[in-house]
Structure 1
């Protein structure tokens, strides 16, 4: 309170159960998504929430509070990413058309830097002002081609399906645990020790993509051994190990 003599006034509250803290820090994917809504009741205000995802790609609630100042204070070096849906909602105010929309979403969704750059050049040829609008947004905050592999924010396909898709690829060893993977239409570099692939899907989601699966097959290893630990059964069980205790009614 700025004035100690003033009548106390409620401003904000913070809700977080211990089970949410333990589950998030113990086994969930290392990212949090922030969202909020305006409260339209008698007192107004905003309700902010933070959620993450467990290893099974289910939404896991973390906390509810006034989160933006909290996150900036407690985690000053975290990576911030924007929801592309909201970027597009602002984008389309001055840049309408299905072709522009399609190019924006392709640029946002590709994991390849080269494909992103080609997409942006195409956008520039269509509408230079639209290109400038997107180019002014920090790339690491909206396109998967520039995301850091520090967080695992997506889960595209499961291993059994990828094992079938990998059969069209030929993995040629370059040096120990490094392979050139080719199917005559695309070629990528896979590093099994570094757990990286030039296609970058493995880097971003922590699950092998078809190029990595092809390399591991040649190396006579199991694809499951190269999956991020957050997807293991033990991690999933640990996420929900701590219960939220039940509460009685106000009358008891």
Structure 2
């Protein structure tokens, strides 16, 4: 805010049931430093009934480094030590463009961000390093737990990478059919299509072996959800295998507490 009464507008938005965003609160403060963010987050926590042990996720827009390191990050760590903190990948790219411009840099950044396993992430980072060592060094200074799916804990049951989605919440929810929201239904259908290419074998107890393209085999324990809260293609194939013997449906393995699941 400029003019006779300068200041900063602090705001918080939440993820709705269809992976869109909606406003939660906003306030006007003098600066974006520690005292202002602490005051804002204390009020936000009281309003949402969030205690210091609450497990949820903040996603910031990677504002100026000084305000981030001296303000928002320590405020979150002090008030909500169990919370996760993510950086919007779109904003990381905006900062990256200051030194490394071009579509190839963007594609490599998003490939690293979308990697779902650590080996896949490391391979993508190696590709960036081979392309430009300086760009690799720049990106390596941002810990991947803040921006890559491969390093998310899974507690948030959401794999959001950007925070600028806009939707009309009420209209979309009113048009929702079935047990899941439209976004999740579409995503689950893609997963089902891929799951049809796998063969499942029981390995004893609660272990199952999956074979087929693009993997030769994988053995895992069947849990109710994967990250981001819906079963992956390997789990879906196993659910179908178990359904022959009276197992549960695919919908039963979706988290009831995920941001894009209908409770």
User: Which of residues 253, 257, 263 in structure 2 aligns to 1:226?
Assistant: 253
Query: Does 2:18 correspond to 1:56?
Result: yes
The separation in 1 between residues aligned to 2:14 and 2:219, in whole angstroms, is 31
How big is the shift at 1:203? 2.9
Counterparts of 2:82 and 2:131 in 1: how far apart (Å)?
A: 36
- Superposition TM-score, scaled by structure 2 size: 0.64
- Closer, same or farther in 2 for the Cα pair 1:178/1:91, shift >3 Å? same
Please tell me whether residue 177 in structure 1 is matched to residue 206 in structure 2: yes
Give matches, 1:4-153, under 5 Å: 39-40=1-2, 42-65=4-27, 68-69=37-38, 70=41, 72=76, 73-153=78-158
Q: Deviations over 1:21-52 (max 9, x none)?
A: xxxxxxxxxxxxxxxxxx34652322221122
In 1, are the aligned partners of 2:10 and 2:26 still within 8 Å (CA)?
A: yes
The Cα offsets for residues 130-152 of structure 1, whole Å up to 9 and x where unpaired, read as 11111111110111111110102
Alignment-derived partner of residue 240 in structure 1? none
Q: Of 162, 167, 174, which aligns to 2:196?
A: 167
Deviation beyond 4 Å, 4+ runs, structure 1:
none
In the alignment, the residues of structure 2 paired with residue 50 and residue 61 of structure 1 have an alpha-carbon distance, to the nearest angstrom, of: 6
3-state DSSP of counterpart to 2:92: helix
> 2:131 and 2:190 mapped to 1: Cα distance?
37
Change (3 A) 1:44 1:148: same
How far residue 83 of structure 1 moved from its aligned partner, in angstroms, is 0.9
TM-score, scaled relative to structure 1: 0.67
Residues 232 and 138 (structure 1), Cα distance of their counterparts in 2 relative to 1, 3 Å cut: closer
* Distance change in 2, residues 1:114/1:48 (3 Å): same
Matched positions, count: 189
Q: Is the 8 A contact 2:197 2:213 kept in 1?
A: no
* 1:91-139 Cα shifts (integer Å, max 9, x gaps): 1221223222211110011212211111111111111111111111111
1:46-92 deviations in whole A, cap 9, x for unaligned? 22211222333232332223673225243133211111111111212
Deviation for aligned residue 1:161: 4.0
Q: Which has the higher contact order (CA 8 A, sep 6+)?
A: 1
Q: 1:232 to 1:135 in 2, by over 3 A?
A: closer
Q: Give the superposed CA RMSD.
A: 2.3
Cα gap change, 1:216 to 1:41, in 2 (>3 Å): farther
Larger Rg: 1
- The runs of 5 or more residues in structure 1 that have no matched partner are 1-38, 196-201, 236-252
